[in-house]
């Protein structure tokens, strides 16, 4: 009587792995690459000067081929007699190339589905609203209505733009766009 008999033992089948996992991984990486890219376009107007348009956190303009970053920041405003609200307080530009010297930058904010820009700042009287922040990238800083600039450093390519007066609420801002022109 044999306890263990190995000669005629049934052989187990080795299951062939399908390549669906590999295909799914490749498709996932491709989707991330396509969806994660920044939208950019170059438009030539009547004068022949270029106008670049970037959308997203990292943008690329013709003057800055490796791109720069926009970092929006919100602050909590709790004025007397009003409900507290988070609002778009500053936008930081980092990594802007010196090749953008004397180019005009225009920053706008949009809601999730709106085709028109949001009001970034309102004058103290409330009579004038600003739906864009426009400034020239220069070695000495810049001024623009209802914009306060801070941490301007042309050498490192950094700038913080702060908005004065009543500002857009942070929940309303879904997209930031930057246009540059020379």
Residues 73 and 37: their CA atoms lie apart, in Å, by 22
What's the CA gap between 96 and 68, in Å, rounded? Answer: 5
Q: Does 180 score more than 50 pLDDT?
A: yes
**Do residues 136 and 103 make contact, with C-beta atoms less than 8 angstroms apart?**
yes
| Residue 97 belongs to some domain of the structure | yes
pLDDT at residue 110 in the model = 92
The string of DSSP codes covering 70-90 is EEEEEEEE--TTS--EEEEEE
Per-residue confidence (pLDDT) for residue 58, from 0 to 100: 61
Q: Looking at the domain assignment, is residue 112 inside a domain?
A: yes
Average pLDDT over residues 148-164: 84
> b/e string for 134-147 if b means 16 or more Cβ within 10 A?
bbebeeeebebebb
pLDDT in tens, 43-102: 444 455 554 444 445 666 678 888 888 888 888 878 788 788 888 888 888 899 888 888
User: Could you give the CA distance from residue 57 to residue 42 in angstroms, rounded to a whole number?
Assistant: 18
Residue 19 domain flag:
no
| Domain membership of residue 132 as a residue range | 40-181
Assigned domain for 1 exists: no
In a domain, 82, yes or no: yes
CB-based contact 117:110 (threshold 8 Å): yes
Residue 32 lies in a domain: no
Q: Higher pLDDT residue, 8 or 121?
A: 121
Tell whether 20 is covered by a domain. Answer: no
Which residue, 109, 134, 132, 120, is CA-closest to 165? 120
Q: What is the pTM of this model?
A: 0.63
Pick from 167, 179, 182, 180: which is nearest to 72 by CA?
Answer: 167
Number of domains in the chain: 1
pLDDT (average), residues 92-114: 89
Tell me the average pLDDT of the chain.
76
Measured CA to CA in angstroms, residue 150 lies from 126, 140, 163 at distances of 24, 12, 11
Residues 150-175 have a mean pLDDT of 85
Integer Cα distance of 8 and 172 in angstroms: 73
Q: Over 80: is that where the pLDDT of 126 sits?
A: no
- pLDDT (0 to 100) of residue 29: 65
Q: Between residues 3 and 78, which one has the greater pLDDT? A: 78
Residue with more model confidence, 36 or 163: 163
Q: Are 88 and 169 in contact (CB under 8 A)?
A: yes
- Residue pair 121/108 in contact (Cβ under 8 Å)? The answer is no
For residue 140, pLDDT over 60 is answered with yes
């Amino acid at each position: 009587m044999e306890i263990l008999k190995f000669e005629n033992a049934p052989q187990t089948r080795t299951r062939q792995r399908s390549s669906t996992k590999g295909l799914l991984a490749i498709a996932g990486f491709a989707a991330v690459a396509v969806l994660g890219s920044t939208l950019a376009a170059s438009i030539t107007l009547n004068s022949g000067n270029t106008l670049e348009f970037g959308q997203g956190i990292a943008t690329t303009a013709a003057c800055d081929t490796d791109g720069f970053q926009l970092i929006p920041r919100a602050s909590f405003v709790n004025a007397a007699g009003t409900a507290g609200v988070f609002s778009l307080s500053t936008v930081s530009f980092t990594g802007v190339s010196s090749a953008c010297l004397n180019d005009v930058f225009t920053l706008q904010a949009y809601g999730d589905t709106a085709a028109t820009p949001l009001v970034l700042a309102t004058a103290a009287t409330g009579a004038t609203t600003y739906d864009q922040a426009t400034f020239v990238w220069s070695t000495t800083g810049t001024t623009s209505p209802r914009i306060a600039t801070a941490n301007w450093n042309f050498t490192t390519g950094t700038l913080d733009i702060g908005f004065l007066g009543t500002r857009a609420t942070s929940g309303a801002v879904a997209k930031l766009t930057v246009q540059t022109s020379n």
